[in-house]
Amino acid sequence: MHLHKYEKIWLVFGTVCLIAFLSIVGVNAFAHDHTPAGGIHTIDPEKVRETAPFNEPGVKQLDDDTYQAAIVASAFAYDGGETLEVPVGKEIIFKITSTDVVHSFTIDNTNVNMMVVPGQVTTKAYTFKEPGTYLIICNEYCGTGHHFMYTEIEVTE
């Protein structure tokens, strides 16, 4: 089979572009340690309320500079205890799961944006730099009351 000169040029160009693209993706994924928001921790969605830390949702201090916020997403509400209040400048580890359908956990004006899937524990660490009240919303349509699914987190000095 005979290939025309221009066909050979385009084949070489396409192959070089493919190798360059895959190399860039590989370097970004592995060398820069880019990973999904959560781990591969699983939980029985029917026993969420019996499994730590979701049996007592809310904010708990782990050490001097680290807090953990355990939150359960369910039909049109986030259960994070009575109030979600965290200090500014401290690392907050959000652990979230769902009891029913897929939800989203997005803290407005931050880079916290996670999918909350039944049967999986999604984890994300974040440090708030400014005090204030931050809106937490669900960006994943979860049913007819989806627009009521929000809460707030208070970041204090």
Domains, the chain, in order of start with CATH, read 38-155 (2.60.40.420)
More confidently predicted of 33 and 117: 117
pLDDT value at 37 more than 60: no
Q: Given pLDDT bands bounded at 50, 70 and 90, which one contains residue 39?
A: low
Three-state DSSP class for residue 3: coil
Query: pTM to 2 decimals?
Result: 0.74
pLDDT value at 129 more than 90: yes
Euclidean distance between CA atoms 103 and 111, whole angstroms: 17
- Do 109 and 24 touch, CB atoms closer than 8 A? no
Q: Cis bond leading into 118, ω under 30°?
A: no
The pLDDT of residue 87 is 95
Q: How many other CB atoms sit within 10 Å of the CB of residue 74?
A: 20
